[in-house]
């Protein structure tokens, strides 16, 4: 299990040392970022302010839907909507011939506070093209309107749907990015707790595995990360946890880093060098290996949080690697 040698991130000290800065100063600080990172930072400042006020969340969610429509490879895939109980979902499939025997169950990111089917379609489409499999994405209930464990309950409901369709657990790859990576792991742990068979594999892109915020990269990558801030992550985890007076952020139901990971399926983890959640990927990889789970960690230079969404060479290489991993496991 994880030890506690990593010091807990001191959010109060961070806020004292990093007060809100004038736009002029913020502009000077971004001069060190690459042009692509500047563009990503500008987009993300609109979609992820960290505010959980209803009007701000609505704006963030709408902006993500627009982003999804702009970058989804729509000419190469088609989608089929469905509802699983009360959970909106959609199949994303290649227009050409593809593998109908296996399914990728995709859990979208968005800090558990944002993300709908249009936003999910970006990586769902890329996963379909990279793996050749049908991809099922779903719109789990979002915080703060629906706090923990709503998202996990919805994920289990969608898993049950696949099983009831006659798709065996060994024919399903579960993928997720950011908070969706957290959800993918928590789904696998929930299935394990029920004594059921595990999926064939896990594919995790910049997974959020430690809500206790103890990773070293919170300090070392703070100035490099063009997307995430400790305040944003704290606002998301607080919205997700709900009304608990003193939440235990190291609870394995919130932070899979601290869970008993034995028996989980082969896992591919991808992360960028420039994200404050880099340690979340490195440490879950170490824990998986220590608990005798086959795991592969890929670290992409000069890349940011969930860079796989973007039309850049590193994203293409990462998705090609996902395809190779899945075909090897299958």
Catalytic residue set: 178, 275, 305
CA 288 to chain centre: 18
DSSP 246-272: S--TT-TTT-GGGS--TTPPPEEEEEE
CB 198 within 8 A of CB 265: yes
Q: How far apart, in Å, are the Cα atoms of 120 and each of 105, 129, 164, 180? A: 12, 14, 24, 10
> In 72-149, which residue ranges form alpha helices assigned H by DSSP?
117-131
Closest by Cα among 95, 131, 71 to 312: 71
Burial of 149 (0-12, 13-18, 19+ CB in 10 A): middle
Residue given tokens 């060479």 in the structure block: 313
CB 218 within 8 A of CB 9: yes
């Amino acid at each position: 299990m994880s030890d506690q040698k990593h010091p807990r991130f001191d959010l109060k000290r961070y806020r004292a040392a990093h007060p809100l800065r004038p736009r002029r100063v913020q502009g000077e600080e971004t001069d060190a970022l690459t042009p692509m990172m500047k563009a990503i930072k500008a987009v993300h400042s609109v979609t992820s302010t960290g505010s959980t006020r209803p009007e701000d969340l609505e704006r963030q969610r709408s902006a993500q839907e627009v982003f999804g429509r702009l970058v989804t490879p729509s000419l190469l895939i088609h989608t089929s909507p469905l509802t699983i109980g009360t959970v909106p979902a959609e199949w994303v499939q290649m227009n050409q011939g593809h593998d109908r025997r296996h399914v990728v169950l995709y859990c979208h990111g968005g800090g558990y506070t944002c993300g709908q089917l249009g936003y999910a379609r970006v990586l769902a489409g890329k996963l379909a093209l990279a793996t050749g499999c049908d991809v099922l994405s779903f719109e789990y209930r979002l915080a703060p309107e629906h706090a923990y464990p709503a998202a996990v309950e919805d994920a289990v409901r969608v898993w049950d749907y696949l099983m009831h369709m006659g798709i065996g657990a060994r024919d399903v790859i579960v993928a997720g990015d950011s908070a969706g990576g957290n959800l993918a792991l928590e789904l696998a742990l929930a299935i394990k707790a029920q004594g059921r068979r595990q999926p064939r594999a896990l594919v995790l892109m910049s997974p959020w595995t430690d809500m206790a915020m103890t990773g070293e990269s919170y300090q070392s990558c703070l100035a490099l990360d063009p997307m995430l801030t400790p305040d944003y992550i704290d606002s998301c985890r607080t919205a997700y946890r709900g009304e608990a007076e003193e939440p235990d952020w190291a609870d394995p139901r919130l932070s899979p880093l601290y869970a008993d990971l034995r028996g989980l399926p082969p896992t591919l983890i991808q992360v960028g060098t420039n994200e404050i959640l880099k340690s979340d990927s490195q440490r879950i990889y170490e824990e998986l290996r220590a608990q005798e789970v086959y795991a592969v960690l890929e670290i992409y230079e000069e890349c940011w949080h969930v860079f796989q969404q973007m039309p850049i060479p590193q994203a293409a290489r990462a998705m090609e690697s996902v395809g190779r991993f899945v075909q090897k496991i299958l």
